[in-house]
Structure 1
Amino acid sequence: MPQESKPVAYGGQAVIEGVMFGGKHVNVTAVRRKNQEIAFLEVPKQDKSWVKKLRKIPFLRGIVSLIDSSAKGTKHLNFSADAYADDELTEEERQEQKDNENKGWSLSMVIGVAAVGVLSFVFGKVVLTAVPVFIEDFLFGNTGLSKFSHTFIEGIIKILLVFLYLYVISLTPTIKRLFQYHGAEHKVISAYEAGVELTPANVQKFSRLHYRCGSSFLVLSVIVGVLVYSLFSIPFPYDNVWERVGQRLILLPVVLGLSFEVLKFTNAVRDVPVLRYLGYPGLWLQLLTTKEPTDDQVEVSIASFNRMRELDAELENATVNVSYASGNLDPVKG
């Protein structure tokens, strides 16, 4: 008798004027065009066997997931950027762009590259790892504090920089709408997990904050980094600010991998009254990275989620049918 598969913990990301959701077998992005129609990008998941194996190894799976999601997210960001740029062009400009597409960068290329650059998690982590070190050393380098104190202050500076950066960019209309779609993504996932019908009215009743958000991972990585850097500096003390930055960058994969495991733990224990507070710092950061969406934005998010679920079911059934046809009585697990 076939074993019942475990419930899927769906995730996604906001894109320009839309939302991407990742399923077991396919990633789907839905974006609202200027004519109010909803356009879709549907990309089947084709993970290599060695990638699937690495995803099962603790500590390594976090780094693999980050790299993989960043690579796959680029295609969906570019799709939304291209749609947005195309909607901003007149017919004459659109034709001129086609005529000159080989002579230079188009507006869509510029927006796409900019989106990837701004939202690149790895690039952001490197910058947020090095810059706070220099700031802390400039302010407190000659105060005689312990290395743990320096590292703790460095972590505080890092969090303040993150909050300041997110607050400033959230004031721009484009990023504010991006954060609204981020909120719409969270609301749809929460509504689905609660088992209610996915309608704009039902979905809007749920919080725009969610435990599994990447914002929670960002805060956790700062907290975990303070502990990792402090412990590492005991057997391997640094002598100057450049050695300190070098240590931080070398240990960055360790911090990211460990932070991913801590995030999985906080998600697993979020129903435990005391332990659920471990996830609160990430929820607080989401007050900046999400905004309350409009019904139209929620509608786009629902459309993306439903299309992903529909394609997932079709691919799942196709996989099961192939498995039975080959004589295997157990469905193939994705």
Structure 2
Amino acid sequence: MKIYGGRAGYNSVTFTGEKYHVVARFKEGKITTETRRKNRDKKITIILSKIPFVRSFSMLFDLIIEYWRRFLAMVIVLFLMELLFNERSNSIFLYTIPINSLEMLLFFLVLYCLIIKSTSIGQYHAAEHQIANAFERDPNLTLEKVKKQPRTHNDCGTNLVISFFICYVLLFMIFGDSAWVLLVSWIIGYEVWRNEPKVIWNLILIIGKGAQYLLFTSKPKEKHLIVAMEAITRLEEKELANKK
């Protein structure tokens, strides 16, 4: 079975296969699982995903649709920060501090890291990676095998973030703060992430895995590993049953 994706939550781990998603949750001392069939990709999405420099926005739209609550929260935070940091504001009730897009991105990155490291999300994220690493080597999982695996993974979305961020910093230093710099950085960063050019990608992997280890994961306990193992086990059962 091929793993098409994984995700960690506050008390859960999700794995995605060819046909299904399986979510395993730990709540009130018990592990429960939920299986959902994947939605078929729309024709327009399939077409856009094959066009270089356009497919990055297809992926972005899919992410916005899937995680619309998080994006709505981010928009609200951006709006509030604009009110607070807009240097042109004359309000006597606000302290106004000039801030550029790079500083804004760094703020969100730090905030995201703090949330992950201060909650169980980091531990479930690490468990997700360790289970995926172990399963890709040997589908017959045991806790002993899983515990020996690294808590970083080559396919983690962190690597896409690092790819984008490197492109943005370089273009920002050359062209300054501009909306088109943000868009072009996303396009180039996505294409680098998708195509993995050897020399550049090796550097991104080093930085990405360092970020995964230090900022986006925490050492998991056995219960986190067991939850992730339950998710991948149920997914494998469902995918294999679907092929019979």
> Which residue of the partner structure matches residue 278 of structure 1?
204
1:183 Cα offset (Å): 0.7
Alignment of 1:126-275 (within 5 A): 127=78, 155=102, 157=103, 160-162=106-108, 164-170=110-116, 172=118, 176-195=119-138, 197-229=140-172, 244=177, 247-248=178-179, 250-266=180-196, 269=198
Maintained 8 Å contact 1:196/1:202: no
Give the fraction of aligned pairs with identical amino acids, expressed as a percent.
Answer: 25
What SS does the aligned partner of 1:306 have? helix
Distance 1:72 1:307, change over 3 A: farther
Give the TM-score of the pair, scaled to structure 2. 0.76
> Which residue of the partner structure matches residue 91 of structure 2?
none
Residue 203 of structure 2 aligns with an amino acid whose one-letter code is Y
1:187 Cα offset (Å): 0.9
CA distance in 1, matches of 2:63, 2:239: 18
Larger radius of gyration: 1
Alignment of 1:19-38 (within 5 A): 19-38=13-32
Distance 1:70 1:21, change over 3 A: farther
What SS does the aligned partner of 1:37 have? strand
1:9 Cα offset (Å): 5.3
Distance 1:121 1:212, change over 3 A: farther
CA distance in 1, matches of 2:189, 2:10: 28
**How many aligned residue pairs are there?**
232
Residue 252 of structure 1 aligns with an amino acid whose one-letter code is L
Say yes or no: does 1:300 pair with 2:199: no
Distance 1:304 1:70, change over 3 A: farther
Gaps of 5+ in 2: 87-95
Say yes or no: does 1:60 pair with 2:54: yes
Alignment of 1:62-141 (within 5 A): 62-72=56-66, 116-117=69-70, 120=71, 123=74, 127=78
Maintained 8 Å contact 1:63/1:253: no
CA distance in 2, matches of 1:39, 1:284: 31
CA distance in 2, matches of 1:26, 1:216: 24
Residue 277 of structure 1 aligns with an amino acid whose one-letter code is L
CA distance in 1, matches of 2:106, 2:54: 29
1:72 Cα offset (Å): 3.3
Distance 1:64 1:17, change over 3 A: same
Maintained 8 Å contact 1:183/1:291: yes
